């Protein structure tokens, strides 16, 4: 079964899935994106992803309104792939124009959709937990926009990979913000904490899913800033994103988190996420 490529109104093969070198996404990183996940041919929280896409587009003044068409196209692309479980990448750029910092007014956005088979992550990362590194948050001040400009994130994640780590936990002025491609939570004395959803982090759909699960369990969550010291002294650390869902972090740089094993709340969240997904999408447990 093939990965599926869609560019500006056309489903095509990868060789013909091309955009102009004068696309502002290529020249300026002038665009935004989303990564969605399908389970059993249903796209998880698609409306929330499209809402965030809309907020990102508005924030950089790209005029795009065809969200119901985009929703249909995402399902059409998924169907064409034949994959039950898939990652759906959507990218919208401002479009093609002669290179100039100031874009012309009458631009037509470039729309790209790619459907990939969901990669299988090593099960040990979930059973034993994963390693992360600390890394300075060198990004701009509008990280709630899911911008194509991912150089700081790719530098952070490349460094993490060089140190055999799954993530880079980023910090600014001693405060932990989020990771290169995920949100981060800590647990201390059964109190869960994560950075507030302000302009300095991406408002993760998975972050919100976890907050809802915790609230449904009657647990309080503190959406407040926390320091690197609090991170390193916490009982549990976990990350969330569309691909990993919930993943325990059991080592940060050379230091184990607590006793170096995934904690109870993290394990509960991993189980609860799987249960909800299976109930929602009629998916049998692996
Ligand atoms: C910087 C960053 N933070 C958080 C997330 C998690 O977002 P979501 O849960 O919507 O996948 C991502 C996902 O790509 C990300 O790139």
Q: Classify residue 189 as exposed, middle or buried by CB count within 10 Å of its CB (0-12, 13-18, 19+).
A: exposed
Report yes or no: 35 and 87 within 8 Å, Cβ to Cβ.
yes
The catalytic position among 33, 39, 75, 89 is 33
What's the CA-to-centroid distance between 267 and ligand 1, angstroms?
Answer: 20
User: What's the pLDDT at 93?
Assistant: 98
The CA angle 224-139-64, to the nearest 5 degrees, is 95
The catalytic position among 5, 50, 146, 148 is 146
- CA 154 – CA 269 distance, rounded (Å): 28
The catalytic position among 27, 36, 202, 211 is 202
Give the CA count within 13 Å in the CB-facing half-sphere of 260. Answer: 4
Atom nearest to 202 CA in ligand 1: 3
Atom nearest to 205 CA in ligand 1: 10
- CA 87 – CA 54 distance, rounded (Å): 19
Active site includes 202? Answer: yes
User: What's the pLDDT at 284?
Assistant: 45
Collect all residues with Cβ–Cβ distance below 8 Å to 172 and sequence separation of at least 6: 136, 137, 200
In this structure, which residue's CA is closest to atom 2 in ligand 1?
181
Active site includes 71? Answer: no
Averaged pLDDT, groups of 10, the chain, 286 residues long: 91 94 98 96 95 98 95 97 96 98 96 97 97 98 98 98 98 98 98 98 97 93 98 98 98 98 98 82 51
pTM: 0.96
- CA 247 – CA 55 distance, rounded (Å): 27
Residue 188: CB atoms within 10 A of its CB come to 16
- CA 174 – CA 225 distance, rounded (Å): 10
In this structure, which residue's CA is closest to atom 5 in ligand 1?
182
Ligand 1 neighbours, Cβ below 6 Å, are 35, 178, 181-183, 202, 204-207, 240-242
What's the CA-to-centroid distance between 178 and ligand 1, angstroms?
Answer: 9
- CA 161 – CA 79 distance, rounded (Å): 33
Q: Kind of pairing, strands 255-256 and 245-252?
A: antiparallel
Write the DSSP string, the chain.
Answer: ---EEEETTEEE-GGG----TTBHHHHH--EEEEEEEEETTEETTHHHHHHHHHHHHHHTT-----HHHHHHHHHHHHHHHT-SSEEEEEEEE--B-SS-SSPPSS---EEEEEEEEPPPPPTHHHHT-EEEEEEE----S-TTS-BS--HHHHHHHHHHHHTT-SEEEEEETTEEEEESSSEEEEEETTEEEE--SSTTS---HHHHHHHHHHHHTT--EEE---BHHHHHT-SEEEEEETTTEEEEEEEETTEESTTSS--HHHHHHHHHHHHHHHHHHTPPP-
In this structure, which residue's CA is closest to atom 4 in ligand 1?
182
Active site includes 178? Answer: yes
Q: Classify residue 15 as exposed, middle or buried by CB count within 10 Å of its CB (0-12, 13-18, 19+).
A: exposed
Atom nearest to 243 CA in ligand 1: 11
Report yes or no: 35 and 88 within 8 Å, Cβ to Cβ.
yes
User: What's the pLDDT at 220?
Assistant: 87
User: What's the pLDDT at 285?
Assistant: 45
User: What's the pLDDT at 283?
Assistant: 53
Of 68, 90, 93, 95, which is closest to residue 77 (Cα–Cα)?
90
At 24, list the tokens.
Answer: 């502002």
């Amino acid at each position: 079964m093939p990965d599926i490529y869609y560019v500006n109104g056309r489903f095509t093969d990868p060789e013909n899935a091309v955009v102009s070198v004068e696309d502002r996404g290529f020249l300026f990183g002038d665009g935004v994106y989303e990564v969605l996940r399908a389970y059993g041919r249903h796209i998880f929280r698609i409306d929330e992803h499209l809402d965030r896409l809309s907020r990102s587009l508005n924030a950089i003044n790209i005029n795009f309104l065809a969200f119901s068409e985009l929703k249909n196209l995402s399902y059409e692309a998924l169907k064409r792939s034949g994959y039950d479980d898939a990652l759906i990448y959507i990218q919208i750029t401002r479009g093609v124009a002669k290179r100039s910092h100031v874009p012309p007014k009458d631009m037509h956005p470039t729309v790209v959709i790619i459907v990939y088979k969901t990669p299988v992550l090593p099960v040990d990362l979930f059973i034993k937990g994963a390693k992360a590194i600390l890394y300075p948050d060198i990004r701009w001040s509008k990280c709630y926009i899911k911008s194509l400009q991912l150089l700081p994130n790719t530098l952070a994640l490349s460094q993490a990979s060089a140190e055999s780590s799954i993530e880079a936990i980023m910090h600014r002025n001693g405060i932990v913000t989020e990771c290169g491609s995920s949100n981060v939570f800590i647990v201390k004395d059964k109190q869960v904490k994560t950075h507030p959803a302000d302009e300095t982090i991406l408002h993760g759909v998975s972050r919100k899913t976890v907050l809802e699960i915790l609230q449904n369990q009657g647990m309080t969550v503190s959406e407040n800033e926390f320091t690197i010291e609090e991170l390193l002294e916490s009982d549990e650390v976990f990350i969330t994103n569309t691909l990993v869902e919930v993943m325990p972090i059991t080592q940060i740089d050379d230091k184990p988190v607590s006793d170096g094993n995934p904690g109870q709340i993290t394990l509960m969240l991993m189980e609860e996420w799987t249960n909800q997904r299976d109930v929602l999408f009629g998916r049998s447990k692996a």
